[in-house]
Structures are given as C-alpha cells and as structure tokens.
Amino acid sequence: MREKLKNVPQKPGVYLFKDENAKIIYVGKAKVLRNRMRSYFQSSENLAPKVQALVSRVADFDFVVTESELEALLLENNLIKAYQPKYNILLRDDKTYPHLKVSIAEKYPRLTIVRGEKDGKSKYYGPYTETGTLRETVRYINNVFKLRTCKNMQRQKRACIYKDIGLCMAPCSGQVSQEEYYGKILEVIKILEGDHKELIQKKEIEMKEASAKMEFEQAARLRDEINYLDKIRVNQQISTQSNHYMDIIALSLGKKHHLALLFKIRKGNMVGKETIWLSGIIAESVGDYIGSFIQQFYDNNTDIPKEILLAELPNDSQLLAEWLKNQAGHKVDILVPQRGEKKKLMQMVQKNADLLIEEFLNDSSRNQQLLIKLSQYLDLEVVPQRMECYDISHLGSTETVAAMVVFNEGLPDKSSYRRFKISKDQNNDYAALVETLQRRFREARKGNEAFLPEPDLIVIDGGIGQLNSVNVALKEMEVSIPIISLAKKEELIFRPQTSQPLRLDRRDECLMLLQRLRDETHRFAITYNRKRRDQKTRNSALDDISGIGQSRKKELLKHFGSVAKIKDASLDDLLTVKGINESVAMEIIKYFSHKQEN
C-alpha cells in the first residue's frame, strides 16, 4: 500500500477503499489526497480502533482527482449515495422518509405525501419521519382549503361526493376559477412555512362578520377552519420571539447507535421535527458526523434555511457553507450559538436528542435481556440478534407466495423483508417452504447482499411437519442455523432436536416476541397474495373483452379505479372515459352481463 501511495498526487480529490472482492467499503475526500491516504497506513497505534478495523479490510484503493475541494465534496456525496459503503456514515433508510409535495406546476395543484425522487417542478417540504402527525396535518389542511385529492382530474359534468360533503372546491366541474384555487394554494404554502397568524386573523374577522349578518352556518364553518389551523399550529409546537428561518441540529452519539434530531423553524414557528438514525462507523470526531449528516440531509433538498444552528462546528464548515449556498441559491450560515434565545433553543434540542437516544438504549437493553432469555429457552449457542420468519399464503392453490420477515435486535427491520413467488401453484406448504429457504440461502451464497447477513435463528409459521421438511432441506444444503416452528392455537414451539414441544406461559415476553414475528410474517404473506390475485383478476377480466387494449384498459382503470366499478358502470358512465366509444362500451356491458348470467 505504501508503495502504491507514492503514485497518488498531492491534489484535492476523492479516494475509494476496496476489500479483497474489489467492493468499495469506504469513500472519503481530501484537500491533499496523498497526505490524507498515507495517514491510514501509518503505525496502527495512532489509529482509532474503528479506523483500524477499516484499514485491516482494505486490499486496494482508487482515487479521483478534482479541481477543488468543493468539487471533491460533491463527488464524495454522490459516490456515497451510489455505493452505500459499509464504513461510511449513512442516514438510515433516508430514501424512505416522506415529503409533503405541492404540485404547483399543475393547473389545479394538490397536496400529497410522497417518497423517493423529486420531479423538479413541485415544491417539497420535509423530509419528515413522524408520519402520523404529518398525515394529520394534511387532513387538517384539506379540511380548511378544500383542495382536490383525486390523482388524475378529468372534466366532469357533476362533481364527486367530496364536493357534496364539503371537502373539495370541485375544479373538475368548473365550480372554482383557476385564480381563486391558486390563491388557496399560496395560503397553504404560507401555512407549511409557519405563517399562520395572518390567515387566522383574517378568518376570525370573516367569522365575526358572518355572525353579525346572522349567517350562522358560514360562521360555524369558519370557526371549524380556525380550530383546524390552531391544531396545525399545535402540531408545529414551538414559537419563538423572533422571525427566525433556521434549522437546529443536535447529535447524540452512542456506542453503536447515533441519532440526529432536527427542528425546523420557519418564520419563528417550528414546522417540523425530524428524528434520524445514523449508521456507519468511521468517524474520527463529532465534526465528521455533523458534516456527513449535513451533506446527505440537504442534498437535493429544496427547503434549506438561512441558518443552521449546531452544538459544534463540522469539519470543513466553510466548504459546507459554500456547498449549501450552491444548493439553496442563497447564503447559509452555519453557527454555534453562544448566547440568547438561539443558545436556549440549541440546548433544548440537544437535551431532547440525548433523552431520545437514552430511551432507545434502555429499550435496546431490555430487548437484549429478552433475546438472552429466549436463547436460554431454546438452548442456543448464540443470542439471536437477527431472526427470520417464513410463511406461505395461497387461496385454493392459486398464486402461492412466501414471505420472509426479519427482526433485528427484537425489532422489525422492514428494509430486509423479502417476498417470493413460488414456482408452482400448489396446496403444499411443505414444498413451498423448502423452495423458499433453498432460494434464500442460494442467493446468500452467491453474495447477494439482499439476503445478507444470514440469520441467527429461523422461525417457521407452522407445526412439526413444516419444521421437519425445512430442516431436512437445510441439512442437505449444509446450512447449520438453529430452526424452530411456532404452531397456532396452542402456541407450541417445536425444535428438531427434541421430541416434545416447548410450551411457554401465554404471558411470557419471549413467546410474545415470537408471536409478533410470526403474525407480522403472516400479514406480509397475505398482503402479497392478495395483491397478486387482484392483479390477476384485473388483467384477465379486461383482457378478455373485445376492443380493449392496453391503452383503453389503462384509461378505464384510471377513471373507475377497479374492475368491480367498471362492471357496474352504465353506458353513459363508460362513454365519459377517454377512448371509449359506443361500440366498445356495449362490448364491456355485454361481457359483464354474460359473465353474470354464467
């Protein structure tokens, strides 16, 4: 390594460390590449234990020279997202966090909760992690502003039921002008940015005027809208004396688990609180964690404030400030408050972060004690940190599927859940389970990361028959992982090495943990089976109708939402669908009438 390092230039850039399989395990940036990379391969006494663990796995490296430190920062962030290296600090499951989307590019915009990529046209607020409060806020906003909720708005002679019950302005039937509707959207944007005061005052004046005119129904409606706006303000929780527009970020670091807590302050009001767990282990200082968090959280984020308050400055804070300015289109100050209201807010957020991680560690400790107790019950050599449960679902031997659910440290790990379509539809759970486990471990042995790591304990939803068939198959594959099955009704635990089942007290926490794992697997399997059956029904029913191709099928389903509604549609209803003429509509009616007669 030291010899190869002699060829590394003394210029800014990004370096990539690889393991013996040429897999990228760490990405870093440097002002001077050769100096930074050499620091890893000096005497191990000068390295932190976590860095030693990384270096011991480095078999090769690569590097990319850049023109500037800022360019290196951008490239590092892109490579970390692309490769998800094992030893980099990562926002755990950051792509799954929801955003609030206001589709301002549409003629009549709507408010939705979305995940994943942004379209570059709409306004986005978030990401948010507390989805319950988020959905409640969306419901309150729609109750006040009566925005459309339909995904694909089409011109209608008569508005849908949402207009009848007072929850939509019905732009589809021309009952509101584009200008008036867009005015409501601008008010929604104000609310999302924390500006409630002016709108509440305006509605209070309107309510008093309506009451004075004895328009009591209108006054009552305005009163309800004010109450909804107050609830949104309560959800946003904190108000400050000044008109601040900033994010406050506190980090709390544990031995294994690390937490970032972010409060969003907009126009003096807290409009969001994000709790984000960090994974990855290579960080030489708190500044490393803070810098990595800022890079990943604000990348492609359209809601970047003017100030970011921290308890400690990140490494390369000036470089990050320059990057944030390019991202946001305005200057962003990264500050450590020293006095006054900002320092008090920073201390409050830090205290909350410390309490959250303490609560998590206490829960984690309780889970560990529970898993140790379970390992004693089952006479396991290893405490089962990762448990995998399997279940089969089918209906009358059709659409046979399997589900794999993973619990890590006693908690669901949804990103590791997997679904299997069994190769042959059959009413044979034994064969389906065998096929599932064989496919799972074949993929693991090929190095497929979607099936790594392997579990410490396998749980089968079923009795002794299912257990024995799977156990034989695993032995043939030379898989030596402990396996049990949990039978319903009597909740008996079967093990291959014992003739008698294990019966735990119904209130035993270990049994309850296994039941949660089993029930979650059952739910996941049934959901997948239903999804496949619905898709099959939807496809086959419409595909059999003369004159219905892919385009018309898509329009029908878009308009009606389901085959059942298409079946009940009248001729006039069918003719409102794009691409459906009278002859095709008659074919649809004739087809479903014939099916009903048979």
Chain mean position to CA 249: 21
| pLDDT recorded at residue 506 | 87
Helix (H, G, I), strand (E, B) or coil at 308: strand
Torsion over CA: 443, 446, 452, 455 (sign): positive
| pLDDT recorded at residue 93 | 47
Tokens of 182: 């867009």
Q: Which of 457, 455, 364, 461 is nearest to 403 (CA)?
A: 461
Among 265-269, 358-362, 521-525, the range with the most confident prediction by mean pLDDT is 521-525
- Termini Cα distance of the chain: 77
Is the predicted pLDDT of residue 235 greater than 60, yes or no? no
Measured CA to CA, the distance from residue 393 to residue 563 in angstroms comes to 24
Q: Which of 87, 88, 120 is nearest to 103 (CA)?
A: 120
Q: What percent of the chain has pLDDT over 90?
A: 25
Q: Structure pTM?
A: 0.50
φ, ψ for residue 407, nearest 5 deg: -110, 125
Helix (H, G, I), strand (E, B) or coil at 494: strand
CA distances from 383 to 376, 388, 479, 482, 495 (A): 9, 14, 18, 11, 16
Least confident of 127-141, 194-208, 471-485: 127-141
Q: What is the DSSP letter of 39?
A: G
Measured CA to CA, the distance from residue 368 to residue 373 in angstroms comes to 9
Q: What is the DSSP letter of 43?
A: -
Among 217-226, 238-247, 278-287, the range with the most confident prediction by mean pLDDT is 217-226
Residue type, 550: Q
Measured CA to CA, the distance from residue 26 to residue 55 in angstroms comes to 10
Helix (H, G, I), strand (E, B) or coil at 485: strand
- Number of Cα atoms under 13 Å in the Cβ half of residue 10: 2
Tokens of 497: 């090495």
Question: In this structure, are residues 246 and 307 in contact, taking their beta carbons and an 8 Å threshold?
Answer: yes
Q: Which of 537, 562, 389 is nearest to 467 (CA)?
A: 389
| pLDDT recorded at residue 159 | 81
For the residues 539-554, what does the mean pLDDT come to? Answer: 77
* Residue-by-residue DSSP string for 242-286: S--EEEEEEEEE-SS-EEEEEEEEETTEEEEEEEEEEE----SSH
Measured CA to CA, the distance from residue 557 to residue 563 in angstroms comes to 7
Element (H, E) at 460: strand 457-461
Question: In this structure, are residues 349 and 263 in contact, taking their beta carbons and an 8 Å threshold?
Answer: yes
Q: pLDDT (tens digit, 9 = 90+) per residue, 84-134? A: 888 887 776 444 567 788 888 888 998 888 876 677 788 887 666 566 667
For the residues 410-421, what does the mean pLDDT come to? Answer: 91
Is the predicted pLDDT of residue 238 greater than 50, yes or no? no
Element (H, E) at 333: strand 333-335
Show the 3-state SS of 384-433.
Answer: CCEEEEEEEEEECCEEEEEEEEEEECCEECHHHCEEEECCCCCCCHHHHH
| pLDDT recorded at residue 321 | 92
Tokens of 552: 């018309």
Q: pLDDT (tens digit, 9 = 90+) per residue, 496-535? A: 988 889 999 988 999 999 999 999 999 999 998 888 777 7
Cβ neighbourhood burial of 345 (10 Å; 0-12, 13-18, 19+): buried
Compute how many other C-beta atoms are within 10 angstroms of the C-beta atom of residue 546: 10
Q: pLDDT (tens digit, 9 = 90+) per residue, 13-65? A: 999 999 888 888 999 898 899 888 988 887 767 777 778 888 888 888 988 88
Mean pLDDT of the chain: 84
Question: Can you name the residues that pair with 16 across neighbouring β-strands?
Answer: 27, 62
φ, ψ for residue 597, nearest 5 deg: -65, -35
pLDDT band at 250 (very low <50, low <70, confident <90, very high): very high
CA distances from 345 to 248, 270, 527, 578 (A): 8, 11, 44, 56
Q: Which of 91, 73, 80, 76 is nearest to 316 (CA)?
A: 73
Residue type, 77: N
Compute how many other C-beta atoms are within 10 angstroms of the C-beta atom of residue 325: 14
